[in-house]
Chain A
């Protein structure tokens, strides 16, 4: 696949939000739509979410993550959306140029009339919740462990404590149990569950995995690999309650302590972020403060259900297409004025064709070299002469002027560009 220099809509990220945006962008008249994915397959995080529970609202079906993703990926590809895999977007400028890097296409700059940001979110890590102790191997986010188990096919854990009752944590408790690991317990610092109740029943209670509310990890032990964690009960202000400490031997601590919209790229593009959601400020069309840059899905705020992410993607994609089309139409009104034979430059550089319907337009230029004999100043569109003007001579030191008249409008309106040549008479 050869990359184009300019696309109507470029979507960053091929998770549910990005794929939905690409589908609706295409359906709403965007010509060239490109979706960029950093992994080696489309689908974003859904690829590793092999549990079910996806699609109940939108598809009225209970699907595993990859099947839900595949449903929309197939629709997207059949519409003719171009997809780049193994490709990282490294920079976006406020005027919608993207710098992207991959082995296959190298390091390239792509222009977009509209962009949909769909980078999703990332997991909070150990330092963000400041768990003291040693720094051995074996402290992973639940999502990283999920990737290892479900995509790479490896077990990063045998004996596990999970901190945080987020959905990914509870789902991984069940998944690791299936694979023969022992999940000692799930600790939650809050007095309530942070994920969905159905996951408490289906992932913990059904497998006799204890959940301890008002508990957290006070300390991590082990030099090279986790050897134990020290759990402790907390009061309502999250202060440790002395005397409630308990050392739980384990080789792995999984963290499921929250998600943060991933907006490093958005910042580079000048997108303003809401400190509460961590995502861009958007209007009802999911447009950010930067014109033509839209955002959809977990990159805006963290959703509970994938179906809602898809719906947000549909809206953002549709609006991005509308923006791109209006920009494309505006661009089509303009044609460039080109310096041809013996012309160094022409001012103006481009022309709004519609304005010629209202009034005459004066073109001014300088010549490259003198011609000391009568000449024609000829304005043509590459095939047809549109107007010409006679001069006795031309010299670089003397500016040359030619006027496009309103009567030339019908000829000019069909042109893609105008070139000015100077030829001896």
Chain B
């Protein structure tokens, strides 16, 4: 017998996980599926980690509305889900006098969007605040509501809270088609069999176009993958702790210089359209472009101290903005379409998608209610996802207490980032279990330092093997096909 759900969510990126968390507040059986071996492996796996103030999107667009609405939700969200978030404000920096009018225009746009707490700073003030800034800075917009977060933990924390409140997550489960009854969607087919549901929610990110096409919705809608490349720097060598945007261009918000909440300076992204949705490769030309862009803001950046490069992909859509008179061609899609029943359609959720995710989730709930769903609140719903200990952030005294309680926290496995065996084991047995090397990496920041996992890798493979009760040969980096080891030694193939 096929399982019957009330809501099935396709895609466990930040949007899907946030929707799952919001819906978990209400009675109903919820399933979230993702094709990868962990949640947050697609678009959400690589971004700039910024919670945008909302001055950037064109006024009147859904992007602008969701961004500004969501921005004010983040303090409560971070408090409830216990993920790292800091509202340190961000800067849009004008280099030379000719860029200054563009920054002033952005400020006007921000005001139109309803962004609070913006102020224009003089070049001298910017130089005072950021000693590494290009001395030719002529001024900057400072948006006090801009923030930074740990984007992996945001997605994971939302998913964990959803699971705590009864949501089922199935990984390595790929959507194949809808099961229709007339014009009503009654379920989905996947590589793991069929699942029935009263509602299906499309949050498939890069593949949101293909999913909606299977339901016959918006055949003209197309996701164009746009790749952005990044560098991360050694925190011991380069310490820029401000979020510095250049003036935006037609290609987007531009190449910025910012920092992670783990204090690593990060630069990027460029924005180049590509064909293949899976092409997360970096290129020499792309990296050179990123370096040049960042050097314009901070000329003293030394690329020698880069410890990692990566690329992320934005799912840029071609949905026109619905507001009359606004000529904008790649707005978010957040809708319950009329053509079929039982379908919530989310598409083209690119930047500011991470920022907007909580507002999109709340909007999905509102739309369902408008569509006649009763949405009875569960008495036992718990909005709090408890944090787990992070050894590296603790004082000597707290470390002592932690290790006394559980000696496994005394065994340091990642030498550069000081991640302990206790933390790794806790992640493997968490509500959304980390079952791959990358899943542990993104939850703990293990292996992200100077040695890039050279020291911890064999050790983590052993821990995963032991805790999951599998052979080291079966341990993967990010799911099937990414195993570390082929065979035991002295076991020569013919």
Contact = CB atoms under 8 A, between A and B. Distances in A.
Contacts of A223: 278, 481
Nearest to B492: A180
B454 A179 contact: no
B132 interface: no
Interface stretch (B67-75, B146-154, B373-381, B399-407): B399-407
A66 interface: no
A104 to B, nearest CB: 8
A381 to B, nearest CB: 35
Interface in A110-149: 122-123, 125-128, 130, 132-137, 140-141, 143-144, 147-149
A38 B412 contact: yes
Interface stretch (B52-60, B214-222, B244-252, B472-480): B472-480
A132 B231 CA distance: 12
Contacts, number: 156
B192 interface: no
Contacts of A141: 454
B464 to A, nearest CB: 13
A224 B477 contact: yes
Given A127-B308, A128-B307, A106 B404 contact: yes
A109 B284 CA distance: 47
Interface string A206-224: 0000000000001111011
Interface stretch (B106-114, B161-169, B483-491): B483-491
B14 to A, nearest CB: 21
A128 B306 contact: yes
Contacts of A397: none
A158 B452 contact: no
A44 to B, nearest CB: 12
Contacts of B144: none
Nearest to B284: A132
B454 A264 contact: no
B399 A264 contact: no
Nearest to B421: A103
Contacts of B479: 224
B368 interface: no
A99 interface: yes
B143 to A, nearest CB: 31
B452 to A, nearest CB: 4
Given A107-B399, A127-B307, A137 B452 contact: no
B489 A149 contact: yes
B492 A179 contact: yes
A154 interface: yes
A154 B282 contact: no
B282 A144 contact: no
Contacts of A108: 400
Contacts of B462: 152
B454 A130 contact: no
Given A135-B280, A137-B482, A144-B457, A153 B287 contact: no
Interface string B219-242: 000000000000010001000000
B300 interface: no
A150 B20 CA distance: 46
B483 A137 contact: yes
A88 B307 CA distance: 23
Contacts of B236: 264, 267
Interface of B: 232, 236, 278-284, 286-287, 303-304, 306-310, 396, 399-400, 402-404, 407-408, 410-412, 415-416, 418, 420-421, 450-455, 457-458, 462, 472-473, 476-493
7 contacts: A132-B282, A133-B283, A144-B457, A155-B488, A156-B486, A225-B483, A264-B450
Interface of A: 38, 86, 88, 90-91, 99, 101-109, 122-123, 125-128, 130, 132-137, 140-141, 143-144, 147-149, 151-158, 179-180, 218-221, 223-225, 251, 264, 267
Of all A-B residue pairs in the complex, the 10 with the closest CB atoms, nearest first, are A180-B492, A224-B482, A224-B481, A88-B412, A137-B477, A103-B407, A125-B452, A107-B403, A154-B485, A137-B482
